[in-house]
Amino acid sequence: MLRFEQVSKSYPGGFVALDRVSFELQKGEMAFLTGHSGAGKSTMLKLISLIERPSAGRVVINGIDLSGIRSGQIPYVRRDIGMIFQDHRLLMNHTVFDNVALPLVIEGFTGRDMARRVHAALDQVGLLDKARCLPATLSGGEAQRVGIARAVVNKPPLLLADEPTGNLDPDLSKDIMRVFEAFNQAGVSVLVASHDLSLIARMRYRTMTLKSGKMINDGLLHSEDAE
């Protein structure tokens, strides 16, 4: 489904963000990506969503090498990947409904068809009653769930989350993770970057650890590692 083959990314000035990283995420698999800030988690996600291009190596999604994607095709690739951000990146002067509808509007949906899909997505994250609210009136956890609804509204096969619980307290974080689990159980491949080690250890999913751009651990993270 998602495969990194000896991927390196260095920035002008010589900073190496990723150093020959390889891994494969199976279809329908859920995994965590962890490491200290600056270890390369965000860079990995940016390479997948084509915000950045690798300096060396190949990023392959569903058998298609992303290096062959022209810049004009990038928007269409991003429609296949649901992305969730730490700061949720909602449009603050649009309602929750409009925010979630954005990917659908971009793809040309209108009217009842669009409303049905938006309501379904909001229902999945438990925010159906907030559809008419502005993001500023929501709590941090609610805003993050709106971000998730927007990421899944067009049912992408792959979901990426960059520190989705970074600003949330432990209980809310657990709620958010449960939402991801639910999507994973529905067959979506999920990759979550997070430095919340204790939460990850409790979830018992495959965990990849990055350190200074290198993959130093790939497998289950045990509670004792978290300490």
Residue numbers at the binding site for another protein (CB under 8 A): 49, 51, 61-62, 64, 69, 72-73, 75-80, 83, 89-91, 102-110, 113-114, 150, 154, 157
Q: How far is the CB of 202 from another protein (least distance, A)?
A: 30
For 219, the token pair is 């497998």
- Distance, in Å, from the CA atom of 61 to the CA atom of 105, rounded to the nearest integer, reads 25
Residue 110 or residue 198: which is nearer to another protein going by CB? Answer: 110
In the complex, the smallest distance separating the C-beta of residue 51 from another protein, rounded to whole angstroms, is 6
Order of strands, sheet of 206-211, starting from the edge strand that comes earlier in the sequence: 81-84, 158-162, 189-193, 30-34, 206-211, 214-220
- Side-chain-side CA neighbours of residue 54 (13 Å): 26
Nearer to another protein, 132 or 219 (CB): 132
The least distance separating another protein from the CB of residue 191, rounded to whole angstroms, comes to 15
In angstroms, give the least distance from the CB of 113 to another protein.
7
- The residue written with tokens 């209980």 in the block is 171
Helix (H) or strand (E) holding 78, with range, is: helix 74-78
Closer of 60 and 133 to another protein (Cβ): 60
Pairwise CA distance, residues 167 & 89, whole Å: 13
The residue assigned the tokens 């609210």 is: 133
Of residues 152 and 177, the one with the C-beta less far from another protein: 152
